[in-house]
């Protein structure tokens, strides 16, 4: 849509749900949305599509939305790209938002390009910073390319809405405010709009309780230096102790020590955790490209010239097989003492 096709106003975020629960990324996105809406002096709305989700709309308001558009239908229970995009198109054409952002998850990165193609507007992928340009009021979208080695600032001057996907974890969600009030608008569409060419069959859950690396707060990552699949278990052990997710270099994935979904880097996933621990990873540029936006990087490697040491905050030059067991042991002791402490605290609380 061209800017002169009507009066576009308001900031929208695309909410995301899994099995009827609102995903954390939806709240992160609202924090971005709130900031943009306030700078632009406008309202913030969130859109959520799903089945049996109407009751969850309130939580989006409590996290910063002024309005929530809900489309609740059995046909939206699973992600069907054609139907989800068609519904979003209906909503956008009716309410004409000026800005529409989504998370750069597999959902956002699929439905948004389809939507942008349908309504003929620009879409900027995987932004890490969003802002409003004071003079023009335009959305300023900043994104890394070539694995974070180039940052590009992008505008959508003549088309509306201005759309971007935003990298998960690029902002903290706002604190929940149970007293916040807003409008919940439930939209219904004719049944044929929900008929998809795609049919959901099943979901095979990965056998882990850890978060996918793209959303993880902490990642323990192993590379070629782990030498074999058995040693790679040490990575899992440490990750368990730290309650973190497991990452890997390309070499570790290519050796078959861990599935591809854990690969960090240019041909894997880009991650932005608070803590990234690189073990036995030399730090090829292609790997660094995927993790350089971590807040804190810790590395252990026996090669003092390893590239990973250039980008780390705390590095240990040494033998991983000497250091890692000691680290695991000490963390285990620590955990045992602290859980004893917690236990005492709980029982004393119970006694009082």
Partner 1 sequence: MRIVVLVKQVPSTDKVKMDVETGIMVRSATEAELNPLDTYAVEEAVRVKEKTEGTEITVISMGPPMATYAIREAIAMGCDKGVLLSDKAFAGADTWATACTLSSALKKLGEVDLIFSGERATDGETGQVGPSVAAQLDMPALTYVSKIREVGDGKIVVERAIEGGHEVVESSLPVLLSVVKEINEPRMPNLTGKIRARKTEVAVMTAADIGLDPSRAGLAGSPTRVVKVFFPSMSRNGMIVDGKDPEKTVEQLLQFLNDKSFI
Site for partner 1 (CB under 8 A): which residue of 49, 98, 215, 234? 215
| 146 lines the binding site for partner 1 (CB under 8 A) | yes
Neighbouring C-alpha atoms within 13 Å toward the C-beta of 85 = 20
Cβ of residue 93: shortest distance to partner 1, in angstroms? Answer: 15
Is 212 among the residues that bind partner 1 (CB under 8 A)? yes
DSSP 2: B
Q: Kindly state whether residue 96 participates in binding partner 1, applying the rule CB under 8 A.
A: no
Q: Does 223 interact with partner 1 (rule: CB under 8 A)?
A: no
> How far is residue 213's CA from residue 222's CA, in Å, rounded to a whole number?
13
- Least Cβ distance, residue 66 to partner 1 (angstroms): 27
Measured from the Cβ of residue 134, the count of other Cβ atoms closer than 10 Å reads 9
Please report whether residue 75 would count as binding partner 1 according to CB under 8 A. no
Q: Nearest 5°: CA angle at 21, between 17 and 27? A: 65
198 binds partner 1 (CB under 8 A): yes
**Is 181 near partner 1 (CB under 8 A)?**
no
- Segment 230 to 259, residues that bind partner 1, using CB under 8 A: 242, 259
The alpha carbon torsion through 261, 240, 128, 109 (nearest 10 deg) reads 30
**For the window 269-288, what string marks contact with partner 1 as x by the rule CB under 8 A?**
-x---xx---------xx-x
Work out whether 202 is an interface residue with partner 1 (CB under 8 A).
yes
Closest CA to 271 of 281, 262, 280: 262
108 interacts with partner 1 by CB under 8 A: no
The answer to whether 199 contacts partner 1 (rule: CB under 8 A) is: yes
Q: Does 319 bind partner 1 (CB under 8 A)?
A: yes
Question: With contact defined as beta carbons under 8 Å apart, do 140 and 127 qualify?
Answer: no
- The CA-atom distances, in angstroms, between 139 and each of 15, 154, 346 are 20, 8, 50
- For residue 139, the cross-strand partners are 132
Task: Return d(Cα 46, Cα 61) in angstroms, integer.
Answer: 8
The reply to whether 229 sits near partner 1 by the rule CB under 8 A is: no
Tell whether residue 148 is a contact of partner 1 (CB under 8 A): yes
Which residue among 67, 121, 251, 272 contacts partner 1 (CB under 8 A)?
A: 121
Please choose, out of 55-63, 113-121, 171-179, 187-195, the segment that lies near partner 1 by the rule CB under 8 A: 113-121
Smaller CB separation from partner 1, 61 or 216: 216
Q: Is 13 exposed, middle or buried (0-12, 13-18, 19+ CB in 10 A)?
A: buried
Residue 307 binds partner 1 (CB under 8 A): yes
- Rounded CA separation 348/352 (Å): 6
Candidates 22, 31, 65, 85: give the one binding partner 1 (CB under 8 A): 85
């Amino acid at each position: 849509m061209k800017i002169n096709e009507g009066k576009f106003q308001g900031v929208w975020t695309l909410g995301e749900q899994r099995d009827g629960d609102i995903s954390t990324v939806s709240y992160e996105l609202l924090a971005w949305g709130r900031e943009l809406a306030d700078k632009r002096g406008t309202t913030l709305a969130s859109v959520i599509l799903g089945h049996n989700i109407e009751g969850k709309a309130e939580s989006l308001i409590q996290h910063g939305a002024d309005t929530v558009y809900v489309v609740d239908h059995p046909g939206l229970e699973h992600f069907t790209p054609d139907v989800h995009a068609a519904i979003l198109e209906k909503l956008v054409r009716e309410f004409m938002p000026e800005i529409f952002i989504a998370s750069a998850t597999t959902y956002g990165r699929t439905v948004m390009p389809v939507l942008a193609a349908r309504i003929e507007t620009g879409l900027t992928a995987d932004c890490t910073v969003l802002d409003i340009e004071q003079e023009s009021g335009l959305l300023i979208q900043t994104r890394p390319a070539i694995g974070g080695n180039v940052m590009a600032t992008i505008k959508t001057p003549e088309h509306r809405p201005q759309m971007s996907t935003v990298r998960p974890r690029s902002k903290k969600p706002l604190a929940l405010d149970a007293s916040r009030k807003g409008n919940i608008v439930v939209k219904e569409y004719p049944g044929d709009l929900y008929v998809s060419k795609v049919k959901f069959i099943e979901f095979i859950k990965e056998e882990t309780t850890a978060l996918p690396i793209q959303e993880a707060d902490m990642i323990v990552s192993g590379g070629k230096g782990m030498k074999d699949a058995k040693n790679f278990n040490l990575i899992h052990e440490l990750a368990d102790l730290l309650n973190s997710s497991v990452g890997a270099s390309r070499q570790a994935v290519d050796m078959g020590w861990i599935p591809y979904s854990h690969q960090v880097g240019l041909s894997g996933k880009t991650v932005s955790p608070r803590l990234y621990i690189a073990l036995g990873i030399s730090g090829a540029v292609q790997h660094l490209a995927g993790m350089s936006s971590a807040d804190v990087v810790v590395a252990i490697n026996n090669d003092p010239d390893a590239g990973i040491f250039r980008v780390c905050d705390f590095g240990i030059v040494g033998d991983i097989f000497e250091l890692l067991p000691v680290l695991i042991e000490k963390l285990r002791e620590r955990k045992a003492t602290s859980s004893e402490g917690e236990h005492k605290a709980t029982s004393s609380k119970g006694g009082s």
